[in-house]
Amino acid sequence: MKITFIGGGNMGEAMLAAVLHNHLAIPNDVTVSEPAELRRLYLKEKYKINISADNIPALQNAEIIVLAVKPQILPAVMSELRHRLQPAQLLISIIAGATIPTLKKGLDHAAIIRSMPNTPAQVGEGMTVWTSTPEVSVQQKRTAGEILGAMGKQIYVKEENYIDAATAVSGSGPAYLFYFTEALIEAAVSLGFKPEDATVLAKQTVKGAADLLMQSGQPAQDLRRAVTSPGGTTAAAIKTLEDGQFKELIDKAVKSAYERAKELGK
């Protein structure tokens, strides 16, 4: 496939790397349009792809165009690309908060996929939720699923409102885990561990628990109960979390993110 990336930031690079690693395209069929010269040269040197400082030439002959710019410059980019896309070209947006109606109106283009990947895509462990307009063909959907799935796992949803929900759960979700890990490190230090040892202790615990959750096939609550012996140390900790309404706080945080995602979409 011939694919062009408008924007060569971290998420664009994650998708680019996944496409090449999974042999969905060859380097000569990939173009990245990126205004920052050092970034362009870095991507060309690392991936042996085509680069451009201008978005318009980069569109030529592309079957798929990935819109991977920062949300604040999206209006300017849409104005530049308006009326430039061919009806058969598929546009995949990975821009948080950019709704399909906004993209359709701003680009005057119909074949659009809106997706919400997350940062673990940078290590091939991403989670992407996506949807499409009716003008996207079955084959284009299949290709989009392969591209988005190359970064980790992907889920297709029929209703666009689930994209905002995914933003709150999986899009922002890594930050929740990082924040928990920060707290675990700080707690370890307060118990006397050196910061470097506390960091290893917390990070490996989080990684090991996540690997066990994924590989065991067991529900999270069953794994939690297996560790929580009645009257034991874990039970004491879980009771403290429950007394602090931990689950309710997580629910409130996710819903705050969801409401903010909907606001940004407006």
Smallest CA-to-CA distance from 101 within 114, 88, 90 is with: 114
pLDDT at 104: 96
Q: Which residues pair with 4 in a beta bridge?
A: 31, 65
Torsion, Cα 265 72 254 223, to 10 degrees, reads 120
- φ, ψ for residue 94 (rounded to 5)? -115, 25
pLDDT at 262: 86
pTM of the model: 0.90
3-state helix vs strand vs coil in the chain, percent to 5: 60, 15, 25
pLDDT at 97: 86
Judged against a pLDDT cut of 90, whether residue 185 lies above it is answered with yes
pLDDT band at 96 (very low <50, low <70, confident <90, very high): confident
pLDDT at 212: 97
Q: Give dist(CA 21, CA 122) in Å, integer.
A: 12
pLDDT band at 261 (very low <50, low <70, confident <90, very high): confident
Distance of CA 161 to the CA centre of its chain: 17
**118 contacts 173 by C-beta, under 8 angstroms:** yes
Rounded to the nearest 5 degrees, what angle is found at the Cα of 41, between the Cα atoms of 61 and 67?
A: 45
